[in-house]
A and B are shown apart, each in its own frame.
Chain A
Amino acid sequence: MKIVILLKTAITALRVNVLRSCLTMLGIIIGVAAVIIMVAMGAGAQQKVDEQIKSLGGNVFFVTGAFRQSGGARSNSVVKINEDDANLIEKQVPGVEAAAPYLSASGQVIYGNLNWSTEIDGIDNRYFVVRDWGIANGREFTPAEISRGSKVVIIGERVRSELFGASDPIGQTLRVTNFNAIVIGVLNEKGQDARGEDQDDVIFLPIKTVRNKITGVNATNPKSVSFIQVSAYDGEDMDYIEDEMSLLLRQRMRIPVGADDLFRIRNVSEMIATRAETIQVFNTLLAWVASVSLVVGGIGIMNIMLVSVTERTREIGLRMAVGAKPSDILYQFLIESIVLCGLGGFIGVMIAYGFVFIGNQYGIGAGGIIETRVVLLSLGFSGLIGVFFGYYPALKASRLAPIDALRYE
């Protein structure tokens, strides 16, 4: 195969000046590595976001109370959202799977001689539906426990491991701030949330228990909660549900037309997705900057190829004298340039793999994912750079007159 000989010729030529070849390749190496790393980081961030949205339990809204506006200035009184709002949303808004009221607090929990500071939240079983969160061991609350405000607790995996270690927590008495509660369940491990907080560092009790024992009862709004988490069925129109909830709550709170809402509805998946988009835009931008360095690398290649053609003018003359056609010379230098770029691209890919591997080992950023598609694309692109920037020098070489080239001093 002639291509093998052409490749051999190219490699021989590049080996004549190893240092120069390496320095020439550097631009391509850095460019390719940078592009792949950037795209890998983008892909990693995207995957993380997808996981977060999934761990949230699909299509979820947060409904909270808002500040009451009084004459344009914000007053300090926050309108509380309450359990009845949750019930109403669940009953009346089509497409809603569950609406879970949530009363949040925090404090110390003690088991034996171990104590741990954690989230202490009041919920009912609907919360597990909304979050798509299963019980690993034990059981959910019974309706009686919820209505009575029993001192029963379902603990997160982190709390279990911190306080109970290898022993079985079910049936054990856990001291929650200032009262004792019986552990009835342990939740599945959930991992970190979008902000990087450990979602398993939590214990759940019936809302009534938390309200009576920890937060206290709000005099004007006795059934108030911190927020309501609402999940929609898959494939439902989230904007429609949001509008319906808003309408329902405005009616319920008797907010006149044109006045501001006294609540806030946030579509969480969308929020995360928006944030992810920002990250993506940023990464794409960086990848473009990196590809500019590829082009700069290409110009370096062109420069060196021009030098190489000049240096080897006599060789070109000789090749022509023994029968090389202009096209033979063109291919020779083109292949040399492609080999230079291709090799640079290959090394760049290896470096990118190394970087991403090390980055993932040490948990830098969101982690990187190198897609084969991106690698092939980068290699193809560096080959193209070889063709594009190698063409002019190669053409110049091929256009030399045999005798002029042969006589060149």
Chain B
Amino acid sequence: MRTIILSAALMAAAIFTSCSTKKPEYPAAEATPKPLGAVVEIKAPLGLPPVPVPAGNPPTAETIALGRKLFYDKRISVDATISCASCHDPKFGFADAKQFSDGVGGKKGGRNAPTVINSAYSTLQFWDGRAPSLEKQAEGPMGNPVEMAHNAPDVEKKLSADPVYRAEFDKAFGPGPITYEKASMAMASFERTVLSGNSPFDRYLYGGDKKALSAGAIRGLAVFRDAKKGNCAVCHSVGEKDALFTDNKFHNLGAGMDAKGELTDLGRFAVTNQEADRGAFRTSMLRDIAQTAPYMHDGSLKTLKDVVDFYVGGGNSNPNRDKEIKSLDHLTKQERADLVTFLESLTGELPSNVGPVQ
């Protein structure tokens, strides 16, 4: 079981670089793979800005399809029981319903699996942002034979044994061996298509459909944006034309405390060593949030009401708590309930072709 998870996650690691912020050194001879086919435009749904795409990995129909297949393929794990989708399951908003994913259950200091929805827009990946970006992740461990040493060859061998995969990799990247790097580029391109927008909120605010939101959700949106009420949008940004619901920055809310009030996870600090980053985590994007319970990096909050109550309580005190986090006990029962209703209106539409290949 452990090995499987390790291997599945090795695939993940191929996409998200290591803890080290140091740039990997590339053997000069190694050529970077290039997608072959015609570049496709990934259309952003209503409410989302254009999808950022790295120059070195333009999405093609072939790489996206290949990435999708790999994402759901359990064979990439050693005994064929775990795929990326085991922890990033479309049934649970591309996250999982557990506090900590399988294989880490009960382990102290674990993190909740975040959704991969809209991760194309994250300037840094992971709760602590230790992976600089999707494209850097793809490069990251790939070109480095020392870093790759352990398990990548196994995965490569396994995929190479399948003639269908061989054909698909050839179609996507041109003839050549199946590499880990290609696999991760394909998965990154697929992930860029896992976008959720056009929610009732988007149709209301950006689509001119004043009936798209319920009265409660409209009030909740006002509370969310009002600096004197919920003050949520100061971090969960809502723009003029679109809303990512994140400033892509790191904040300490005090989530994840032990009994004695010590932070159980230092978050961003472990990456930057900056005192200000102690216990800081990346602002979540909130899209499809009703589907991705439990909440926070430690999955400690089971419901959206618990999350709203967490903010009403001013989070948990600690020396590094963000100055924007203050008790919101001035919010009335109605305003608290409206915030929950509003968060529920952020469930959008995913493209039809991001589920498992039938």
A binds B: no
- Which B residues contact A (CB, under 8 angstroms)? none
